[in-house]
Amino acid sequence: MVGLVAIHQPNFFPWLGYFEKIRRADALIFLDAVAYPRAGSGGMGSWCNRVRLAVQGEARWVTCPLHRMALGCPIGDAQIDDSQPWRGKLLRTLEANYRKAPQFVSCMTLIEPLILEAEGNLANFNIRAIKAIAGHLGLSTQFVLQSSLRYSGKATDLLVSLVKDVGGSAYLSGDGAAGYQRDDLFAENGLGLVKLNFVQQPYREPSRFIPGLSVIDYLMWDGRPLAELREVA
C-alpha cells in the first residue's frame, strides 16, 4: 500500500502548489496517457507547455513551443518544437528579470541544465524537471507513469482506477476539482478523499509578491526545502 496518491498532468515548471501536492502524497501519478489539454480554439497552449513568471514586475507567460498534434492525442505524444530558439530566450528572460534575486546563482545552477536538456518529448522533459526540482526541495515521493498502469474509465472513474492500481488507500484532490469531480465515487470504492487546500504564503516582500508563478520564482527568491518553509509559516 502506498497510502495517499496524487494524480496530475506533467506540467511545465509548475507552481509551488504542485510541489506541495508532491510533498503531501506518498505517490504521484503523471497523467501521460490522457488527451493533451487544449486552450481556446485548437491552440497548443496549456499548463503542460507554459507557465507564468515575473517579467518586468508582472505575471507573464513563458512557453515551450510544440509541434501541432491532432485533437485527442495523448500528452505523452507531444513533441517540443526546437526549430524555435525558446530555450535561450527563456534563459535570457530569467537573467534579465531575476539576476538580482538572492538565490539567482543556485537556482540557475539547477534550472539551466533542465532547460537545455536535449529532450524532444514534452512529457519526458517536464517529468525530468519536476523530479529534479522535487529532489532539490527535499521531497522523496514515489513517481509513477499512468501509461505503466492498468486503468479504465474517464474523469473521476479514471482517478479511482489509477489509485486502486497503485495500491493507494486515499486520493489527494487538488483545489480546482470542484465542479467536475464526483467525490462520492471514492468512498463507494473504499478509498479516502483528502483535499489539498493549499494557500500560498508570500515568500518575498508582500508588496512585490505575485502568487501562482512557476516554482522557478520561488527558487529565485527563497528556495528552502518545503518542510522548512512550512515550519516557518
Q: What digits encode the pLDDT tens for the residues 86-136?
A: 999 999 999 999 999 999 999 999 999 999 999 999 999 999 999 999 999
How far, in Å, CA of 9 to CA of 129, rounded? 13
Q: How many domains does the chain have?
A: 1
Per-residue confidence (pLDDT) for residue 84, from 0 to 100: 96
Tallying the residues shown for the chain, one arrives at 233
Q: For position 232, what pLDDT does the model report? A: 44
Separation CA 20–CA 173 (nearest Å): 12
Q: Provide the pLDDT for residue 177.
A: 62
pLDDT of residue 178: 59
**92: alpha, beta or left, given left = phi > 0 and alpha = psi -120 to 50?**
alpha
Q: Which residues of the chain have pLDDT under 70?
A: 1, 39-42, 177-179, 228-233
70-89: string of b/e by CB count within 10 Å (b at 16+)?
A: eeeebbbbbebbeeeebbee
Please give the pLDDT value at position 179.
Answer: 64
pLDDT at 2: 84
Per-residue pLDDT, 229: 62
Identify the domain containing residue 111 by its residue range: 3-232
At residue 40, the pLDDT reads 57
For residues 13 and 114, give the distance between their C-alpha atoms in angstroms, rounded to a whole number.
10
Closest C-alpha to 162, from 47, 27, 54, 51? 27
